[in-house]
Homo-oligomer: A and B are copies of this chain.
């Protein structure tokens, strides 16, 4: 196990009606709120009104920034920073999924940065020094943004999608009511489950050999996705299944699985390059790329980890290790397909002559992957195989 500093400071209010904590929590941080939300689904479900009523009842002054899109844009973040400065915002409340929360984080730290907020993404984590407090009301299980300090933002002008990670970006509190995910459409629900699954894999496939408890916990969460992923598609309003996935999503990327070891994250790197160019749903990109990544990095050297994965997660028996390892990959692809995910980049309209550009983008800041280091040629091979 590597040395680590554990800090998971977000207070979670989990369960039906946990929104009742919203007012009292916000007031710990101030009375002047920026209310960030997405493209309107919360108006349809009534959550918008619920939140506004809580603001009013608690005499909070709020300003709105709605319309955050999937693969959230830096241009929108700039608007948010402007609003915060104009109105002396004290706390940002993000109501939505990962895109909304990531935007809130970028705004929260952009507020304290003199230049353009995109600078922080170019300069990287060490440039993030201060942030406004953030609270969230989660409506989507997948990104884990509600309990971590990560934000991923796209720059539509430069076709870049970059991330920052810093503990001060962790929401101070998050309201996790599984009923808010009942109305998430089928394809988005499935993509969210893949996203959770991928976050776990990126930490599980690690170059750090000694991570027994982390590995076993990772397998626990993978099994939860396998158990409940199909249930939420069949029964979108099944509370327990939604609850299990929502909580698993938060734990999967709050640090618990990653502390004490190095993660891989090459697949996320490739997917960010893909969705920067094509505006693909993140989980869909991951569902396509993950099995091809696995096939590419499975070698005699890495086989043991794939065998562990196949045996412990998919209960695959057998003595021939290579066969067992490969069967684990087959099972992974089958699982994603069973959730309705496409299998190739061609299926989602990617053009073959964009693959080179995406490979270049993936390695634009250097090689990717820690479990197995990938240069541009490796990435291009994976993308071609996935086409």
Which of A's residues lie within 8 Å of B, judged by CB?
1-18, 21, 210, 212-213, 216-217, 219-221, 223-224, 227-228, 240, 243-244, 247-248, 251, 256, 259-260
Interchain CB contact under 8 A, A11 and B5 = yes
Interchain CB contact under 8 A, B212 and A216 = no
A252 to chain B, nearest CB (A): 10
Residues of B within 8 A of A244 (CB): 1, 210, 212-213
Interchain CB contact under 8 A, B210 and A1 = no
CB-based closest 5 A-B pairs:
A3-B15, A216-B220, A6-B12, A213-B224, A1-B243
A218 to chain B: closest residue by CB:
B220
Interchain CB contact under 8 A, A216 and B210 = no
Could you give 17 example pairs across A and B, Cβ below 8 Å?
A1-B14, A1-B243, A1-B244, A1-B247, A3-B14, A3-B15, A3-B18, A4-B15, A7-B12, A15-B260, A212-B244, A213-B220, A213-B224, A217-B217, A219-B220, A247-B260, A256-B256
A198 to chain B, nearest CB (A): 17
Identical subunits present: 2
Interchain CB contact under 8 A, A4 and B14 = yes
Q: Which of B18, B212, B247, B251 contacts A228 (CB 8 A)?
A: B212
Among A7, A212, A219, residue most surrounded by chain B Cβ atoms (within 10 Å): A212
C-alpha spacing A256/B2, complex, angstroms? 21
Residues of B within 8 A of A3 (CB): 14-18
A10 to chain B: closest residue by CB:
B6
C-alpha spacing A8/B219, complex, angstroms? 22
Residues of B within 8 A of A8 (CB): 8
Q: Which of B1, B11, B240, B259 contacts A7 (CB 8 A)?
A: B11
Q: Which of B7, B17, B220 contacts A220 (CB 8 A)?
A: B220
A218 to chain B, nearest CB (A): 9
Interchain CB contact under 8 A, B13 and A5 = yes
Residues of B within 8 A of A9 (CB): 9
A171 to chain B, nearest CB (A): 12
A203 to chain B, nearest CB (A): 14
Residues of B within 8 A of A220 (CB): 213, 216-217, 219-220
Interchain CB contact under 8 A, B6 and A11 = yes
C-alpha spacing A32/B206, complex, angstroms? 43
C-alpha spacing A228/B15, complex, angstroms? 35
A224-B216 in contact given A11-B6, A259-B14 (Cβ < 8 Å) = yes
